[in-house]
Chain A
Amino acid sequence: MANKEIVLAKLIEVPDREWIVLADKCRSHIKTKIKWKTLFGAHATSNLGMPAEQYYFQKAVEKLYDPDGGWEWQFEKFTLAEQLIRIIDSLISEEVRKSSTAKAKKKAEALNIQYTDSEILLDIINDTPSYEELQEREQYIQDFVKLVEQAIQGNDKLELLYLHLMDGKTYDEIVVEMELGSKKQLYKLVESLKEKVQKHAASINSKEKKS
């Protein structure tokens, strides 16, 4: 049996229960990733024809099942979740690249400049955001950090985590410095930070609606 057939046989055996877990993990990953890319890159999801998380998940699954699609599940090296995430990351990057190239081409057309491919690439690298774009992003960052600061106020552990992340410490360094014992504990702290921020944001929203 060829390797691709072994992969297909393995994929067919994956139970629905496991696919539900995989689909949910991929959804969280795509949402987080897209949010960040949209903020700092030219990520267009409007042309995908369906919600971004659905599009990227299905596209990744399709690549995995396609015997000639160029992506083969290296099941000895990666779990199915890891392999799917790798494909998704590559698909998102490709989408960003396409979108950036289109943006550069549009700019060139507007300026009536004949660009070669390498010049377009150079333009993407040097493509600094406009003042308005920077201002918009800066405002988002300022607002988000303020929201986090308010949400975790009074919680010593989360405040310490916030400072370490601000200092650019690696996740392993944070585990050691905060004496968390394992990364699993760090993940729990992140979950708790997420919940607090979400709760705080929801309470601000409801107050704004009332007023």
Chain B
Amino acid sequence: MSNLKEKIDFVNNLYGLILETNLDKSDEEILSKVDTKNDPYISNSLSFIRRMNTQAKATLNKSRFEYAQKMLSELINSAGNNIDTFLKGLVSEPENEKMMAFFKNYQSLSDSDKKAMLLDSKILEIISKAKDKLDPSSNND
């Protein structure tokens, strides 16, 4: 006949094992058992995660915009009075067509268009390349 301490240890050990077993279950095993449509816990969890994703996207967009803005102003500051010469130099290179179009139109864009353009990852890449060209030793991070 086991004593109470042994029994408590047994229950404790068993709970520990059950916790490990829960984590070890395969995705297929879980997905075959969970009723995703009629399980309120699952549907509530998914809508909560969607909300978190929307907020996360907004946070990411905001920091990308701030980063692009910072890079652009650094680029303009580094070029200083030579910005025209620098831009003309870039025209001669065919791969810079998009970059030139961007700079040519930038001043005439509305604030919301500027924001949208700066969030374009291609533009971010272009600014980064232009900055490298101007000062190869600079670090864009």
Q: Please report A residues at the B interface, Cβ cutoff 8 Å.
A: 2, 5, 8-9, 11-12, 16-21, 23-25, 27-29, 32-33, 35-36, 51, 53-54, 57-58, 61-62, 65, 67, 81-82, 85, 138, 141-142, 144-145, 148, 162, 165-166, 168, 171, 183-184, 186-187, 190-191, 193-194
Interface residues of B in 1-39 (CB under 8 A from A): 2, 4, 6-25, 27, 30-31, 33-34, 36
- What's the nearest-Cβ distance from chain A to residue B71, in Å? 13
Digitize B60-71: 1 where CB-to-A-CB distance is under 8 Å, 0 elsewhere.
100100000000
Could you tell me which residues of chain B, from 103 to 127, have a CB within 8 Å of some CB in chain A? none
Q: Contacts A29-B23, A81-B23, A162-B10 given: A138-B56 contact, CB under 8 Å?
A: no
Contact B18 A32 (CB under 8 A): yes
B45 touches A58 (CB 8 A): yes
Q: Are B17 and A171 in contact (CB under 8 A)?
A: yes
Nearest residue (CB) in B for A31 is B22
The answer to whether A25 touches B22, judged by C-beta atoms less than 8 angstroms apart, is yes
Q: Report if B91 contacts A (CB, 8 A).
A: no
B11 CB contact (under 8 Å) in A21, A57, A141: A141
Closest to B49 in A: A19
Q: Say which residue of A18, A33, A82, A141 sits within 8 Å of B4 (CB atoms).
A: A141
- Could you list some 26 contacts between A and B, CB below 8 A? A8-B59, A11-B53, A12-B53, A12-B57, A12-B60, A17-B31, A20-B30, A20-B34, A20-B42, A21-B27, A23-B42, A25-B30, A29-B19, A32-B22, A33-B19, A51-B41, A57-B41, A58-B44, A138-B4, A142-B4, A165-B14, A166-B7, A168-B9, A171-B16, A184-B24, A187-B21
With A27-B41, A36-B12, A141-B4 known, 7 other A-B pairs at CB within 8 A are A19-B49, A21-B31, A24-B33, A144-B11, A190-B17, A190-B18, A191-B21
A8/B30 in contact, CB under 8 A: no
Known contacts A29-B22, A32-B19, A142-B7; A20 and B44 CB within 8 A of each other: no
In this complex, what residue of B is CB-closest to A164? B13
* Tally of A-B Cβ pairs under 8 angstroms: 125
List residues of chain A with CB within 8 A of the CB of B13. 165, 168
Most chain A CB neighbours (cut-off 10 Å) among B2, B18, B19, B55: B18
A132 to chain B, nearest CB (A): 16
Contact A166 B6 (CB under 8 A): yes
How distant is the Cα of A46 from the Cα of B63 in the complex, in angstroms? 39
Which 8 residue pairs are nearest across A and B when measured between Cβ atoms? A28-B22, A23-B45, A187-B21, A165-B13, A8-B56, A166-B10, A65-B52, A190-B21
